[in-house]
Amino acid sequence: MDNWKKMFNSHQSTQFHKQSITAYENLVKIQEGGQENVIDLIDGNRKKKQVAENRAKIKPLIETVLVCGREEMSLRGHRDAGELKINNSSAKEGKFRAILKYREKGDAELRETLEQSNKRATYISPKIQK
């Protein structure tokens, strides 16, 4: 048994063991939120900024879906696929799109999302609504 103690003590003093303990402690700090992830540090927090921007873009869309659900309103209309025609108020595009048109007048970020985003990145298609 004394031999095991010597081997353990010998192992504890190796550089590999010390590096492993440091790596483990850093991992625990990252998981607890006390330290930033290495990728985020290297990336200059660009990823965090992009995540925040994406959340800000999708927030009004989710809020609109929640309003429709809370009021038991259907989202879909007869012509609710394709590009949202903001300036065309006569188009019957469904309640979801009508509320988005109304909201975008006072929300510059929503307007930018609807007008300038890639067609696949507006999150207003019938498939996304389902």
Does 65 lie in the same domain as 99? yes
User: For residue 84, what are the domain limits?
Assistant: 46-129
Does 120 lie in the same domain as 85? yes
∠ CA 125-112-93, rounded to 5°: 35
pTM: 0.52
Does 115 lie in the same domain as 60? yes
The domain tally of the chain equals 2
pLDDT in tens, 4-51: 888 888 888 888 888 999 889 888 887 887 766 677 677 767 777 888
Encoded tokens for 4: 């095991």
